[in-house]
């Protein structure tokens, strides 16, 4: 981790994913909060799992297992091959379980039943419902989505779930509601990373209502034809494939409709680097590295990044008239 501190353009170097930006930020934030140059101690380090044991760990006892595989929605196919499950499920960002990629084993501590989702704020129909009741109300489908991390690596994933629009329609937001705010669980005894006091737990993300009802906004409940593995943010996470991956909040417990723009977790940590909009744009570099290319995680190949991660047709119109905003960071 220490080596990454001196990196100016980490995306250009092979093996970026081994010394991730998130680890860099973690250290920097710690030093900032401590107010001196203390060395990092006590960061949660978890061992990796082999692909085979990972697959076994994937939700075999999950009560929703019978809902998968969900029917493919053929409107969401891709021109790239899928990231193998073994690779995806052993390389994750889930800071609640550690500030590095090998959190899969530690994330098995996540208890996903009972799991209550609260929908509140400026809505006609505030409600609390168990995840299995929510699943029963929704039509599940499978979509193949690109997933582009701000750290400049990418994957291609078969997510299962339901359009966020269906949940918004169920909640019936008031006309004064402008944003959707989502929040992850807070349980320090279960998630060792939440003892890292310098982070603003719980993890929060937000989007406009127009973004939330866009056809691409997807509530993910499964992957690779099964219930979501814990390290992916089980039992309910978001996928906004035209935005950098940090917008895709994991393990959601609360969905609130607000008039004010929510401040997200990474925005609170470093607003000059991780903004509210975070739309993918190869021409707008991160303050410390280029976003022009991305590294396909399972091949190592570097390919050009596309505007809105290749989803311009579906989302570009959302940003017309907002050119004065920092849309691409
Ligand atoms: N959600 C929570 N609750 N905690 C996190 O640390 N990391 C984000 C996002 N959602 C994160 C989160 C980041 S930085 C990315 S890139 C993606 O999850 C990673 O998703 P993946 O592990 O499925 O690739």
Give the three-class secondary structure for 142. strand
CATH number at 109 reads 3.90.420.10
Examine residue 145 and state whether it is found in any structural domain, yes or no. yes
Q: Quote the CA–CA distance of 110 and 96 in Å, as a whole number.
A: 10
In whole angstroms, give the CA distance from residue 68 to residue 186. 28
CA distance 24 to 40: 11
Neighbouring residues of 8: CB distance < 8 A, sequence distance ≥ 6: 288, 289
The atom number, within ligand 1, closest to the CA of 88 reads: 24
Q: How far is the CA of 299 from the centre of ligand 1 (A)?
A: 21
Return the pLDDT at 6: 30
- CA-based nearest residue to 227, from 165, 142, 170, 164: 142
Cα of 92 from ligand 1 centre, angstroms: 7
Q: What letters, b where the CB count within 10 A reaches 16 and e where it falls short, cover 29-40?
A: bbbeeeeeeeee
Range of the domain at 233: 71-319
Give the residue from 29, 19, 37, 41 showing the smallest Cα distance to 199. 29
User: In 10 A of CB 321, how many CB atoms?
Assistant: 8
Ligand 1 atom 21: residue of nearest CA: 92
Residue owning the nearest CA to atom 14 of ligand 1: 246
Specify if 17 maps to a domain: no
Identify the sign of the CA torsion 306, 207, 108, 73: negative
For residue 147, the ligand 1 atom closest to its alpha carbon is: 24
CB contact at 8 A, 70 and 105 = no
Ligand 1 centre to CA of 302 (Å) is 22
Neighbouring-strand partners of residue 159 = 143, 223
Residue 79: the pLDDT is: 86
Residues with CB under 6 A from ligand 1: 92-96, 147, 149, 184, 203, 232-233, 245-246, 248-251
For position 25, what pLDDT does the model report?
Answer: 43
In terms of Cα–Cα distance, which of 50, 75, 59, 56 is closest to 221? Answer: 59
Task: Quote the number of domains for the chain.
Answer: 1
- Could you identify the atom of ligand 1 that is nearest to the CA of residue 244? 16
Q: In angstroms, what is the span from residue 161 Cα to ligand 1's centroid?
A: 17
Distance from the alpha carbon of residue 128 to the mean position of ligand 1, in angstroms? 24
Ligand 1 atom showing the smallest separation from residue 155 Cα: 24
Query: Distance between CA 216 and CA 196 in Å, rounded?
Result: 33
What's residue 218's pLDDT? 99
Residue 41 is predicted with a pLDDT of 27
Spatial CA neighbour of 282 closest among 247, 249, 329, 315:
329
What's the CA-to-centroid distance between 159 and ligand 1, angstroms? 14
By most ligand atoms within 8 Å of CB, the mutation choice from 187, 237, 248 for ligand 1 is: 248
Give the distance (Å) from ligand 1 centre to CA of residue 236.
Answer: 12
CA 245 to ligand 1: nearest atom: 16
- What stretches of 131-231 adopt beta strand conformation (E)? 141-148, 153-163, 179-184, 204-208, 218-223, 226-227
Three-state DSSP class for residue 23: helix
Token pair 């809105």 is found at 308
CA 152 to chain centre: 14
Paired residues of 243 in beta bridges = 279
pTM (two decimals) = 0.86
pLDDT in tens, 141-192: 999 999 999 999 999 999 999 999 999 999 999 999 999 999 999 999 999 9
Report if residue 205 sits inside a domain: yes
pLDDT lower than 50: segments of the chain: 1-30, 33-59
Residue 21: predicted pLDDT: 40
């Amino acid at each position: 981790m220490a080596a990454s501190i001196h990196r100016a353009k980490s995306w250009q170097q092979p093996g970026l994913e081994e010394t991730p930006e998130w680890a860099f930020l973690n250290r920097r934030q710690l030093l900032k909060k401590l107010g001196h140059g203390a060395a990092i101690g006590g960061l949660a380090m978890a061992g990796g799992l082999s692909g085979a044991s990972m697959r076994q760990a994937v939700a075999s006892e999950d009560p929703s297992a019978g809902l998968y595989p969900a029917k493919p929605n053929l409107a969401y196919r891709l021109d790239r091959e899928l990231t193998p499950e073994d690779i995806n499920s052993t390389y994750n960002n889930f800071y609640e379980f550690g500030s590095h990629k090998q959190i899969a084993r530690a994330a098995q501590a996540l208890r996903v039943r009972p799991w209550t989702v609260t929908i509140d704020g400026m809505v006609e129909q505030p409600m609390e419902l168990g995840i299995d009741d929510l699943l029963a109300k929704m039509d599940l489908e499978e979509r193949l989505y690109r997933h582009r991390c701000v750290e400049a690596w990418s994957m291609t994933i078969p997510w299962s779930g339901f359009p966020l629009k269906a949940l918004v329609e169920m909640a019936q937001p008031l006309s004064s509601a402008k944003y959707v705010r989502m929040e992850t669980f807070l349980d320090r005894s279960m998630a060792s990373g939440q003892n890292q006091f310098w982070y603003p737990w719980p993890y929060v993300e937000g989007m406009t209502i127009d973004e939330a009802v866009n056809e691409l906004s997807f509530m993910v409940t499964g992957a690779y034809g099964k219930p979501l593995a814990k390290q992916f943010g089980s039992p309910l996470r978001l996928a906004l494939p035209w935005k950098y991956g940090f917008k895709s909040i994991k393990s959601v417990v609360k969905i609130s409709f607000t008039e004010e723009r929510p401040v997200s977790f990474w925005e609170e940590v470093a607003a000059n680097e991780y903004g509210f909009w975070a739309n993918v744009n190869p021409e707008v570099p991160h303050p410390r590295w280029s976003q022009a290319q991305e590294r396909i995680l399972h091949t190592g190949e570097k390919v050009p990044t596309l505007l809105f991660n290749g989803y311009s047709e579906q989302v570009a119109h959302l940003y017309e008239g907002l050119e004065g905003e920092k849309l691409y960071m």
